[in-house]
Amino acid sequence: MAVLAAFAAFGSAGALAMPPSEAGDVQDESSATFFDVVSIRDAVEAMEKEDLNESETSGILFMREEEKLARDAYQVFNETYGLRVFGNIGAAEETHMESMGVLIDKYELDDPILEAGNFSDPDLQDLYDDLVAQGSSSLEEALRVGAAIEETDIQDLEDRLAETDNEDISLVYQALLRGSRNHLRAFVNNLERRGIEYSPSVLSSEEFDEIVSSGNERGPYQT
C-alpha cells in the first residue's frame, strides 16, 4: 500500500540554500482546495446506490482516515510554525474528510474517525506519529512531510479509482485528486521559495514534474 511504502526511502534529500524564514511563506490561498460538501452530498445522493465490493469498502474507510492524517498533521505544524500554508491547507483537508464522510453516510459504513491524532488503522497511527515527529524537527522537514503526504494521497487515490466503477465513489476521488495536486504544488512552492529542492518519494518523476509545472486546478464542488 502506497501510504506505508512512501516513507521507507523518505529522507532529507535536497540542499538548503538559504535559512528558512517567514519571508518565504507563500500564502497559496488558491492552492488550499476547499469543497462545498453540501453540493458533493447532493450529487452523490442523486446517484444510484450500488453494491460495494470489499476493495471499495476498505478504500472508503482508508481514504477517510488518510485525509484525516493530513488534516491532523498540518494542524500540528501550523501550531508549531504558524506558517499560513499549513493553516490554509489544514482547514481545506477538513472538507476532504467530510467529502469522504458523504460516502460513509450513503453506504451506512462504520465511521473509523477518532479524535485528533488518533487512528483506527494501526498502520496509519504509526505513520502519523513518525511524520509528526519528523516534521517537528524543523520547518523544512514539516514542508517536506506535507509534500510527501500529498504525493501519497495522489497515489492512493489513483489506485483506489482503478479499483471501482461506482460513479459516486469516482466523483469524490476525482475531486480529492485535484485538491491533493494543488496542495502538493503549494508545499513544493514553499520549499522552492526557501531554496530547497524537493524530489518525489512516491510518484514517478514524470508525474511529479507534470503536476508541479502546471497551474492550480479548478473543478466542480470547489468553493
What the chain holds in terms of domains, given with CATH numbers, is: 30-212 (1.20.1260.10)
Question: pLDDT for 98-123, tens place per residue?
Answer: 999 999 999 999 999 999 999 999 99
Rounded to an integer, what distance in angstroms lies between the CA atom of residue 128 and that of residue 72? 9
Percent of the chain topping pLDDT 90: 86
Give the pLDDT confidence score for residue 98 in this predicted structure: 98
Give the pLDDT confidence score for residue 77 in this predicted structure: 98
The predicted model gives 45-58 an average pLDDT of 96
CA distances from 11 to 32, 52, 192, 221 (A): 25, 38, 17, 35
Give the pLDDT confidence score for residue 30 in this predicted structure: 56
Rounded to an integer, what distance in angstroms lies between the CA atom of residue 43 and that of residue 26? 33
Q: Contact, 148 vs 174, CB < 8 A?
A: no
- pTM equals 0.90
Give the pLDDT confidence score for residue 104 in this predicted structure: 98
CA proximity to 74, closest of 18, 148, 178, 14: 148
Q: Per-residue confidence at 31, pLDDT binned at 50, 70, 90?
A: confident
Give the pLDDT confidence score for residue 15 in this predicted structure: 35
Percent of the chain topping pLDDT 70: 87
Give the pLDDT confidence score for residue 20 in this predicted structure: 40
Q: Per-residue confidence at 2, pLDDT binned at 50, 70, 90?
A: low
Beta strands in 78-129 (DSSP E): none
Give the pLDDT confidence score for residue 5 in this predicted structure: 52
Q: Which cell numbers in the block locate residue 63?
A: 481514504
The predicted model gives 17-27 an average pLDDT of 44
Please name the residue that has the C-alpha cell 460513479: 167
CA distances from 212 to 101, 126, 152, 166 (A): 29, 29, 15, 29
Rounded to an integer, what distance in angstroms lies between the CA atom of residue 32 and that of residue 14? 25
Q: Which residues pair with 222 in a beta bridge?
A: 35
Give the pLDDT confidence score for residue 1 in this predicted structure: 52
Region class of 143: left (phi > 0), else alpha (psi between -120 and 50), else beta: alpha
* pLDDT, the chain, mean: 90
Give the pLDDT confidence score for residue 126 in this predicted structure: 97
The predicted model gives 34-43 an average pLDDT of 97
CA proximity to 71, closest of 192, 179, 200, 212: 179
Q: Per-residue confidence at 10, pLDDT binned at 50, 70, 90?
A: low
Question: pLDDT for 60-83, tens place per residue?
Answer: 999 999 999 999 999 999 999 999
